[in-house]
Amino acid sequence: MSVPVLLFASYADAFGARRIDVPVCMPCTLNEVVQAMRTLPGGSVLPTVPLVAVNRAWVTVHTAINVGDEIAVIPPVAGG
Amino acid sequence: MSVPVLLFASYADAFGARRIDVPVCMPCTLNEVVQAMRTLPGGSVLPTVPLVAVNRAWVTVHTAINVGDEIAVIPPVAGG
Amino acid sequence: MQHTAIVTAPIDVAALMHRIEDDGVGAISVFVGTVRELNEGRAVSGMDYEAYEPMAASELRAIAEEACAQRAGLRVAVEHRVGTLAIREASVVIVAAHAHRGPAMDAARYIIETLKQRVPIWKREHYRDGERVWIDPTRRVDAA
Amino acid sequence: MQHTAIVTAPIDVAALMHRIEDDGVGAISVFVGTVRELNEGRAVSGMDYEAYEPMAASELRAIAEEACAQRAGLRVAVEHRVGTLAIREASVVIVAAHAHRGPAMDAARYIIETLKQRVPIWKREHYRDGERVWIDPTRRVDAA
């Protein structure tokens, strides 16, 4: 199966989309989502440990995900 | 002779004037002006070492004064 | 008391200052971040700001709540703008008000520093030579 | 660049912010001191500010010059009001602008702290019970 992942700014540019479907076997953690993203076109943009959020809250890549979660892999923030 | 001294705020209230003539013998320092002010009505308002300015610049009471100097004896400042 | 928002229109500083008015306020600290024409020596002509909007809105609210929880009586209004901004336009305005100046100034600084760490917003500089580059603060020496 | 003044009319914050505008500015820090209704538990109805005007003006100018000398590129506008002020009115407005936020915020704080030490201005609180008292910060526990 696959999970939808939201992308922004430089990551959206690299993957060519603001939302991609990433193939993973459930259940899994965000780390497996990130590893799967590295194999996609544009995946080289990701740093060793990218910022990740689930359901609009910061989490670590060790967090388990559930079907229906809003998952975002997030570039270094630069607000202000 | 005497020298004119500018007063403000609580000191002007205590001495009942915004400018007083203080009797001193010249040459002298500000300390002698302050000691002479203590003997005037309202003089008890002055702290042990009041703030003083000559020609609109902060100085110490050990500063010598000259005829024509603009002398101010200044209450604790409270701007802002 | 706090107000926070991600907005697309120009931020009205006076309106934010009006929001925090109160008879008990003795000190107001305001921070405004603006787009400047030069960054790391390159001429900038404008800036795009993009947000993960629902998360940016909730992080901004959380930061304002933390600032208020740490300082009784604090009143805070914060807006961050997204979209394309010209030189001199404000990207973020923070207003913090308190009876005393220490908490007001500390809160404004806490909010801008924490916002830059935690709120999912990105900016892309437009250079005068036509290039557009997303800013990565983890690779930068200085930042406004 | 600096502008400083002792004024009798209400201070126009927007006008002071306009003064420091520049394409090189990335951060603006503003401090506003306002009259609040309660001081050390007593109900305040207003405040008189009095200055030794020529000396206050020159000390304010000197403080702004020091702030700028310590931080290349700093732009500062400061006005302190004298006369009788109502609750919520601004007694002092400090605007400090720089390419970067650190110097802007540090300068605004330096100016308000130094102003309170060195500028010959006094304030007399009007209490609701009719009494009027000159404030002596050397005898006070807290200050706005």
| C48-53 average pLDDT score | 98
What residue type is A52 in one-letter code? V
Mean of pLDDT over chain D: 95
Whether chain D has a CB inside 8 Å of the CB on C28: the answer is: yes
Give the pLDDT confidence score for residue D143 in this predicted structure: 46
Q: What is the pTM of this model?
A: 0.95
Whether chain C has a CB inside 8 Å of the CB on D35: the answer is: yes
Distance from CA of B44 to the nearest CA of D (A): 16
Q: Give the count of alpha carbons within 13 A of C105, CB side only.
A: 22
| B3-18 average pLDDT score | 98
Q: What is the dihedral of CA C9, D100, D94, C10, to 10 degrees?
A: 0
* Cα dihedral C69, C72, C74, C75 sign: positive
Distance from CA of D108 to the nearest CA of B (A): 12
User: Cα(D54)–Cα(B6) distance, rounded to whole angstroms?
Assistant: 12
Whether chain C has a CB inside 8 Å of the CB on D135: the answer is: no
Quote the ipTM score: 0.95
Chain centre to alpha carbon of residue B32: 10
Among C37-46, D26-35, D86-95, the minimum mean pLDDT is found in: C37-46
Q: CB D121 to CB B13 under 8 A?
A: no
- In the DSSP assignment, the letter for residue C12 is -
| D23-50 average pLDDT score | 94
Whether chain C has a CB inside 8 Å of the CB on D128: the answer is: no
Mean of pLDDT over chain B: 97
Residue A37 has pLDDT above 70, yes or no: yes
Q: CB D119 to CB B77 under 8 A?
A: yes
Task: Pick from C4, C31, C55 the residue to mutate for testing the A interface (most A CBs within 10 Å).
Answer: C55
Q: Which residues of chain A does C80 touch, with a Cβ-Cβ cutoff of 8 Å?
A: 79-80
Residue D144 has pLDDT above 50, yes or no: no
Q: Is D40 exposed, middle or buried (0-12, 13-18, 19+ CB in 10 A)?
A: exposed
Residue C35 has pLDDT above 60, yes or no: yes
Whether chain D has a CB inside 8 Å of the CB on C142: the answer is: yes
Q: CB C55 to CB A57 under 8 A?
A: yes
Give per-residue pLDDT as tens, D70-115.
Answer: 999 999 999 999 999 999 999 999 999 999 999 999 999 999 999 9
* Facing residue for B78 by CB, picked from D52, D54, D123: D123
Give per-residue pLDDT as tens, A52-79.
Answer: 999 999 999 999 999 999 999 999 999 9
* Facing residue for B80 by CB, picked from D50, D55, D116: D116
Distance from CA of B16 to the nearest CA of D (A): 15
Distance from CA of C22 to the nearest CA of A (A): 27
Closest to D80 measured CA to CA, from D103, D43, D47: D47
Query: How would residue C123 be classed by pLDDT, with cut points 50, 70 and 90?
Result: very high
Give per-residue pLDDT as tens, A14-26.
Answer: 999 999 999 999 9
| B17-23 average pLDDT score | 98
Tell me what percent of chain A is helix, strand and coil, each rounded to the nearest 5: 25, 30, 45
Give the pLDDT confidence score for residue C40 in this predicted structure: 78
Closest to B80 measured CA to CA, from C38, D90, C84: D90
Distance from CA of C13 to the nearest CA of D (A): 9
Among A41-45, C39-43, C96-100, the minimum mean pLDDT is found in: C39-43
Assign residue C83 a region (left: φ > 0; alpha: ψ between -120 and 50; beta: otherwise): left
Query: How would residue C143 be classed by pLDDT, with cut points 50, 70 and 90?
Result: very low
At least 3 CB pairs under 8 A between chains A and C = yes
Q: CB C26 to CB D34 under 8 A?
A: yes
Q: Which residues of chain D does B76 touch, with a Cβ-Cβ cutoff of 8 Å?
A: 136-138
Residue D50 has pLDDT above 60, yes or no: yes
Write down the H helix ranges in chain A.
9-15, 30-38
Q: CB D100 to CB C37 under 8 A?
A: no
Q: E strands, chain A, where? A: 2-6, 19-23, 28-29, 51-54, 57-59, 64-65, 71-74
Q: CB A78 to CB C33 under 8 A?
A: no
Distance from CA of B79 to the nearest CA of D (A): 5
Mean of pLDDT over chain C: 95
Start-to-end C-alpha separation, chain C: 28
Give the pLDDT confidence score for residue D40 in this predicted structure: 78
Residue D139 has pLDDT above 70, yes or no: yes
User: Cα(B53)–Cα(D120) distance, rounded to whole angstroms?
Assistant: 10
Q: Which residues of chain C does D24 touch, with a Cβ-Cβ cutoff of 8 Å?
A: 36-38
| C123-132 average pLDDT score | 94
Whether chain D has a CB inside 8 Å of the CB on B48: the answer is: no
Residue B56 has pLDDT above 70, yes or no: yes
User: Cα(C132)–Cα(A10) distance, rounded to whole angstroms?
Assistant: 11
Share of chain D above pLDDT 90, in %: 89
Query: How would residue D63 be classed by pLDDT, with cut points 50, 70 and 90?
Result: very high
Give per-residue pLDDT as tens, C67-76.
Answer: 999 999 999 9
Retrieve residue A61's tokens: 């890549």
Tell me what percent of chain D is helix, strand and coil, each rounded to the nearest 5: 30, 40, 30
At least 3 CB pairs under 8 A between chains A and B = no
The answer to whether residues D46 and D33 touch, using CB atoms and an 8 Å cutoff, is no
Maximum alpha-carbon separation in chain C: 51
Give the pLDDT confidence score for residue D38 in this predicted structure: 85
* Look-up of token digits 């405004």: C32
